[in-house]
Amino acid sequence: MTDRLPEIHSESCDDDIVAYILEIKSRCPADPRVAARLARVLAASGDRIQPRSPFSADVASTGGPSSLSTLLCPLYLRAAGAVVPKLGVPGRPAGGIDCLVQIVGYRSTFGVDEVERLLDASGYAHFMAGGRLAPLDSRMFQLRQQHGAQEVPTLVAASLLSKKLAVGVRNAGLDVRVAPHGNFGKTWTEASGNARLFIEAARLLSINAYPVLTDARFPYQPFIGRKEALLALRHIFRGTESPWLEEHRILCRNLALASTPPEQRERILRATVSDLQDQFYMNVVAQGGSRDGFEQLVESTNSRHDHTLRARDDGFVRFDLDGIRKVLVAWQKRAVVDGALFPDPVGIILMRRPGDWVSRGEPLATVRIDDEAFQGAVNDLEEPIAKTALLPLGPSIEGIKTDE
C-alpha cells in the first residue's frame, strides 16, 4: 500500500498535499506503516533536535477542552529527571502553549540552537511547530482542518509522532481523550484501536509509545479557558485546589507515570506540588516570562469572574462540553487582532459537577469577560451550561429512561 501512495515533501504545493491527505483518508485511514512513513517525511521537512540526555519524554494529547495534561505532565516528567522537549500546535480553546503565552514575555517560537540551550539549562522547553521544526506538519495540519481530515487515525498518529521524531523524544505518552467530539476515537472501542495503531507506528520508528484513554465526555476539572488553566495551576501550587481539581492533578500524574520507564516512576510519586511549582517557574523564566507576570495574570483573571450562570430549572447538571468549546472558539476568533496569536476574551469556572442535582437559580458557573464587547458570550453560554436534565449523567452516574 505504501509504495502506491503519491510522494510529498517540504516543497510540495498545497494541492499536492491535499491530494495526499484525501488519498490517505480514502484508502488507508488506519495504517500504522503509512503513519510511520509519513511521520518520517514530516519530521525530515525541517531541522532536528537531539537532547543530550538519553531519557527524553513527553505526553501529548488528542485534543478536547478542560484537561490540563499538556501543562502538568511535563512538570511531573521533569521531576522524574526527564528532558522534555515539547513541540506542539495551537489548541482550541486552550492548548498548553496557548495558555502559557498569556504570561507577559513568554516566548513560543525559537530557533533550534535556542531550544537546545533551553533544554541544557532547564530540561524543559515548550514551543510551537512550524518555522524550522516540522514545518510540513504545520502546513498539513492546517490543510487537514480545511478538508475534514482532522480525525483520520493514520494522519493523527503521523502528526503526533513526527513531532516526537523532530525533537528526539524517545518515550511518547499520549492522552487519548475519548468523546463524541474526540479527534482520535469517539467511543472506547474506536479509541482503543487507534491507540494500538499509535503503538505500532511508534514501534516502527523506535519510539516507546504509552497511550492512555481518558473520558472526555465530561469536564476533567472546572477551569476552562486559556487564562483559567493558569489559574488552576496556581491553585494546585498553593494547595487550594478543590477535590475535583485535585483528582485531575492525580490523573495527570498517572499519565506521566504511564509514560515513564518503571525505574523512574518512584521519583514522580515522590514529587510534591512545590516541586511542580519550581519546574513551572523555571520554564516560565527560561522562556521570557516571570513569576510576577504569572501572579498578576492569574489575579486579574480571578477578579474578572463577575458574571454568574444559574440553573434554569430544577434538575441534574449536564454540561454540553462540545457546546462550551464551540462558544469559546467562536469568541476567540472574533477577538483576533494583528499580532494576537492566542486571544482569550472569555473563560469559565464551573461550580458544580455533571450529574449533581440543583434547584432552579443555583449558580453553576462564573464567566470572565475581558471586554464589554464580548458580553454576548454570556448569553451564548447559557444553553450549554445552564440547561438542566431530567436524568443524571456524569462520570459515575447515568440515569436510564423508562418507557413510562
How far apart are alpha carbons 267 and 280 in whole angstroms? 17
- pLDDT given for residue 232 in this prediction: 98
Q: What is the pLDDT of residues 119-146, one digit of tens each?
A: 998 899 999 866 788 889 988 988 998 8
257 and 111 part of one domain: yes
241 and 374 part of one domain: no
241 and 372 part of one domain: no
Mean pLDDT of residues grouped by 10 in the chain (404 residues)? 73 93 94 96 92 91 91 96 88 87 94 91 86 86 88 95 95 96 92 98 97 96 97 98 97 96 93 96 96 98 96 97 94 82 94 98 97 89 96 92 72
- pLDDT given for residue 183 in this prediction: 87
- pLDDT given for residue 404 in this prediction: 55
- pLDDT given for residue 371 in this prediction: 86
118 and 67 part of one domain: yes
Q: Are 144 and 150 in contact (CB under 8 A)?
A: yes
8-state DSSP, 111: -
- pLDDT given for residue 133 in this prediction: 83
238 and 122 part of one domain: yes
Host domain of residue 373: 304-394
369 and 277 part of one domain: no
Q: What is the pLDDT of residues 33-92, one digit of tens each?
A: 999 999 999 999 999 998 888 899 999 999 888 999 999 999 999 999 999 999 877 777
Q: Are 160 and 134 in contact (CB under 8 A)?
A: no
Nearest to 250 by CA among 228, 230, 220: 220
Kind of pairing, strands 84-88 and 57-61? unpaired
- pLDDT given for residue 337 in this prediction: 77
Domain membership of residue 387 (yes or no) is: yes
- pLDDT given for residue 401 in this prediction: 85
Beta strands in 31-189 (DSSP E): 57-61, 84-88, 124-128, 171-178
125 and 211 part of one domain: yes
Q: How many domains does the chain have?
A: 2
How far apart are alpha carbons 367 and 327 in whole angstroms? 12
- pLDDT given for residue 94 in this prediction: 83
Domain membership of residue 209 (yes or no) is: yes
Please calculate the CA angle 120-123-125 and round it to the nearest 5 degrees: 100
Q: What is the CATH number of the domain that holds 239?
A: 3.40.1030.10
pTM: 0.93
